[in-house]
């Protein structure tokens, strides 16, 4: 094989963006088919994509067509696990959009099928290609920061107007999307939170506000507190209702603190580790000498979707290690599921979460939903400024 034939399932906002990437920007990849249940979207594909790109109205037709080696799943969230499972069973390589799914029970089933398959399985965690976060992960895993004591991420620059939510009937509903800011905007941050630090919390306490700023039924404002096995603590604050927003990730360790903000990575490095200074210093008031270090970071290929597409293609062609294995999608989803469950039960949630209990609560939300909103479907949103 010298080329990977890709099929895209779901040609909405992200699917269209990926289609053009596969047509023009990914060496070794070839877009040969698209699939969507919407006749209007297939009509768009007929008008905007080359004639050789086949069009299917069902995933089963695509899977059986023999026209693709791999599929990129860019459908609403609930569909990711079942479609991935069916594709893997048809011996196709699978790349899913984030999040991995809506609830960990379904995602674990998907992971189990992937574990039994010899096909490549990836997730579109394109922020793992961002040099800022790759360097942050390197500084932490290499021991430069020392043992982690605190993690804080304020990610409130997700401003979304009511018109955004009205652009699709499935958006911001429990039945259609399965959640709000945590599930739609924050999957990358929830993944990076654990990927860069190498740590998952042992328990979570979260406070979610549902429809606080917009006429929606899901959460649009979240404050979550977590505790780690080593005694470290963390805070995750997010919303889609504030302007201007902030994106600041701060990690404190025994050797100082690192801050990622405004496209920069700054390391306030202690000359003497805090624990050592505390054990030996006898002068009363005082603190370790600290150096402010601006860490150089490669500005190229900063978190691109094309980076994941190239890596996934090379993984199929040349067995290149995956930057974002699909199985790891369950980690960030576990964090958001834990936050929901904590808010719904008004209590702490221990990790690993009770997947059955979460699913039961989610089904109650779906079944009790009577939410109706005005929609303006049909026009694709510009996703060039999203992650």
pLDDT value at residue 383: 43
pLDDT value at residue 1: 83
**pTM of the model as a whole:** 0.94
pLDDT value at residue 385: 46
Average pLDDT for 228-254: 98
Q: List phi, psi (to 5°) of 117.
A: -100, 155
pLDDT digits (tens, 9 = 90+) for 13-63: 899 999 999 999 999 999 999 999 999 999 999 999 999 999 999 999 999
Instruction: Return the closest-CA partner of residue 158 out of 285, 256, 245.
Output: 245
Helices (H) and strands (E) in the chain, counts: 13, 15
pLDDT value at residue 372: 66
Average pLDDT for 206-211: 98
Q: What is the DSSP string of 86-136?
A: HHHHTT-EEEEPSSS-SSHHHHHHHHHHHHT--S-EEE--GGGG-HHHHHH
Tokens of 33: 């088919």
pLDDT value at residue 170: 74
Helix (H, G, I), strand (E, B) or coil at 377: coil
Average pLDDT for 89-103: 98
pLDDT value at residue 297: 92
pLDDT value at residue 301: 63
pLDDT value at residue 370: 72
Position 302 confidence tier, pLDDT thresholds 50, 70, 90:
low
Residue with tokens 């459908």: 75
Is the CB of residue 222 less than 8 Å from the CB of residue 181? yes
Q: How much of the chain exceeds pLDDT 90, in percent?
A: 90
Burial class (CB in 10 A: 0-12, 13-18, 19+), 262: exposed
pLDDT value at residue 159: 98
pLDDT digits (tens, 9 = 90+) for 119-164: 999 999 999 999 999 999 999 999 999 999 999 999 999 999 999 9
Check pLDDT > 70 for residue 382: no
State how far the Cα of 274 lies from the Cα of 271, in Å rounded to an integer.
9
Position 378 confidence tier, pLDDT thresholds 50, 70, 90:
very low
Check pLDDT > 70 for residue 196: yes
pLDDT value at residue 387: 59
Average pLDDT for 361-383: 68
Helix (H, G, I), strand (E, B) or coil at 137: helix
Check pLDDT > 70 for residue 306: yes
Tokens of 312: 């996934």
DSSP 208: E
- Residue 315 parent element (H or E): helix 305-318
Average pLDDT for 255-283: 97
Q: How much of the chain exceeds pLDDT 70, in percent?
A: 95
pLDDT value at residue 300: 73
Average pLDDT for 216-239: 98
Angle at 81 between CA 105 and CA 78, to 5 degrees: 85
- Crossing angle of helices 305-318 and 13-24, in 10° steps, is 60
Within 10 angstroms of residue 246's Cβ, the number of other Cβ atoms is: 13
Check pLDDT > 90 for residue 94: yes
As a whole number of Å, the CA-based R_g of the chain is: 22
pLDDT value at residue 20: 97
């Amino acid at each position: 094989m010298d080329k990977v034939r890709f099929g895209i399932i779901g040609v909405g906002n992200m699917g269209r963006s990926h289609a053009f990437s596969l047509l023009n920007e990914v060496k070794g990849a070839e877009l040969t088919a698209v699939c969507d249940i919407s006749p209007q979207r297939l009509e768009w594909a007929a008008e905007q994509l080359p004639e050789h790109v086949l069009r299917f109205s069902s995933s089963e037709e695509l899977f059986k067509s023999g026209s693709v080696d791999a599929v990129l799943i860019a459908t609403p969230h609930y569909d990711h696990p079942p479609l991935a499972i069916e594709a893997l069973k048809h011996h196709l390589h699978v790349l899913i959009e984030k999040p991995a799914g809506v609830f960990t029970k379904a995602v674990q089933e998907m992971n189990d099928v992937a574990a039994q398959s010899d096909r490549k399985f990836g997730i579109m965690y394109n922020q793992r290609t961002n040099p800022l976060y790759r360097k942050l992960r390197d500084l932490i895993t290499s021991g430069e920061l020392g043992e982690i004591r605190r993690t804080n991420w304020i990610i409130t620059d997700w401003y979304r107007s009511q018109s955004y939510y009205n652009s699709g009937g499935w958006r911001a509903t429990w039945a259609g999307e399965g959640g709000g800011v945590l599930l739609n905007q924050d999957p990358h941050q929830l993944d990076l939170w654990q990927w860069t630090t190498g740590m998952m919390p042992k328990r979570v306490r979260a406070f979610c506000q549902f429809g606080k700023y917009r006429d929606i039924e899901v959460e649009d404002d979240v404050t979550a507190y977590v505790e780690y096995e080593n005694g470290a603590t963390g805070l995750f604050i997010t919303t889609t209702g504030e302007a201007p927003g902030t994106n600041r990730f701060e990690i404190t360790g025994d050797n100082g603190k690192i801050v990622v903000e405004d496209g920069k990575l700054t390391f306030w490095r202690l000359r003497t580790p805090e624990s050592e200074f505390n054990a030996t210093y006898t002068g009363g008031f005082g603190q370790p000498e600290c150096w402010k270090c601006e860490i150089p970071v490669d500005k190229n290929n900063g978190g691109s979707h094309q980076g994941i597409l190239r890596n996934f293609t090379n993984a199929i062609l040349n067995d290149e290690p995956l930057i974002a294995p699909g199985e790891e999608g369950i980690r960030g989803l576990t964090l958001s599921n834990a936050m929901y469950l904590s808010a719904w039960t008004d209590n702490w949630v221990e990790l690993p979460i009770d997947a059955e209990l979460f699913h039961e609560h989610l089904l109650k939300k779906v079944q009790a939903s009577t939410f109706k909103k005005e929609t303006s479907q049909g026009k694709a949103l510009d996703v060039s400024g999203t992650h």
